[in-house]
């Protein structure tokens, strides 16, 4: 119980920096999406596919969050997008202070949509706002259709959900209807996409949603 006051101070400090991030983003006309998913759900691949689908309509920037390495940022940079890599060390989620430092490194006047790839983790990122306008969760077919039972907080606390790797539906048992039903018991108003960064399925729908968000 000694822990609670300290945790509250940390959360309050994070909220304050997140609010400053939000004001900075708004001042530059940038709409930020906090992307939350398990490791290997296909966050980076989906970012690249959506950014390509937005070409000529919206200018995309990216923040990559990982414990270590810049392999994701390298992929994004190779696609010609402005990107900043955050390494959390051992940290299990991004926090607003890390994003604040990243924002200072990005050309915000050249970005309409900022895609923030959080650390691969279905639990911890949910509790830390970064200053984002919208939260997008990604789940992937190989993870199984029972995930809403086991990780309810993430599904309950996002605006939209992309079920990725739907090209693999033919290779494994997965009940998409039951998955969506479970998700909607937790979050009736959620926007739900079925996508594949590999086949391109649903990518235009996701891109069109981002265009509408930033109309």
Question: Applying CB under 8 A, which residues contact its own copies?
Answer: 2-3, 6, 9-10, 38-40, 66-69, 71-72, 90-92, 119-124, 127, 140, 142-144, 146-147, 149-153, 165, 168, 171-172, 198
- Minimum Å gap between C-beta 174 and its own copies is 11
- Minimum Å gap between C-beta 84 and its own copies is 16
C-beta separation of 18 from 129 below 8 A: yes
Structure tokens belonging to residue 204: 């235009």
- Minimum Å gap between C-beta 23 and its own copies is 26
Which is nearer to its own copies, 56 or 90 (by Cβ)? 90
Calpha distance 9→168 (Å, rounded)? 44
Calpha distance 42→138 (Å, rounded)? 8
C-beta separation of 169 from 138 below 8 A: no
- Minimum Å gap between C-beta 145 and its own copies is 10
- Minimum Å gap between C-beta 51 and its own copies is 19
Which is nearer to its own copies, 45 or 214 (by Cβ)? 45
Q: Name the one residue in this structure whose structure tokens are 């920096």.
A: 17
Calpha distance 206→53 (Å, rounded)? 9
Q: Which stretch of DSSP H or E encloses residue 25?
A: helix 3-27
Which is nearer to its own copies, 31 or 44 (by Cβ)? 44
Q: With 0-12 CB in 10 A as exposed, 13-18 as middle and 19+ as buried, what is 4?
A: exposed
- Minimum Å gap between C-beta 92 and its own copies is 4
Calpha distance 122→93 (Å, rounded)? 10
C-beta separation of 132 from 165 below 8 A: no
Which is nearer to its own copies, 142 or 191 (by Cβ)? 142
Which is nearer to its own copies, 54 or 148 (by Cβ)? 148
Show Cβ contacts of residue 151 under 8 Å, excluding neighbours closer than 6 positions: 122, 123
Which is nearer to its own copies, 167 or 205 (by Cβ)? 167
């Amino acid at each position: 119980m000694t822990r609670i006051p300290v945790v509250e101070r940390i959360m309050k400090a994070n909220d304050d920096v997140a609010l400053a991030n939000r004001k900075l983003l708004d001042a530059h006309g940038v709409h930020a999406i906090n992307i939350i998913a398990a490791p290997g759900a296909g966050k980076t691949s989906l970012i690249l596919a959506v950014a390509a689908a937005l070409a000529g309509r919206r200018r995309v920037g990216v923040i990559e969050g990982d414990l270590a390495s810049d392999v994701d940022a390298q992929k994004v940079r190779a696609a010609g997008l402005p990107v900043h890599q955050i390494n959390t060390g051992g940290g299990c989620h991004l926090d607003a202070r890390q994003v604040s430092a990243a924002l200072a490194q990005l050309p915000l006047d050249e970005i309409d949509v900022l895609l923030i790839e959080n650390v691969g983790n279905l639990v911890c990122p949910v509790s830390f706002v970064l200053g984002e306008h919208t939260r997008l969760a990604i789940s992937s077919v190989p993870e199984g259709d029972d995930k809403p039972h086991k990780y309810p907080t993430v599904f309950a606390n996002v605006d939209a959900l992309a079920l990725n790797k739907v090209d693999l539906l033919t290779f494994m048992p997965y009940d998409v209807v039951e998955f969506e039903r479970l998700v909607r018991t937790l979050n009736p108003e959620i926007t739900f996409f079925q996508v594949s960064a590999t086949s391109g399925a649903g990518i235009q729908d996701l891109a069109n949603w981002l265009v509408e968000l930033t109309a």
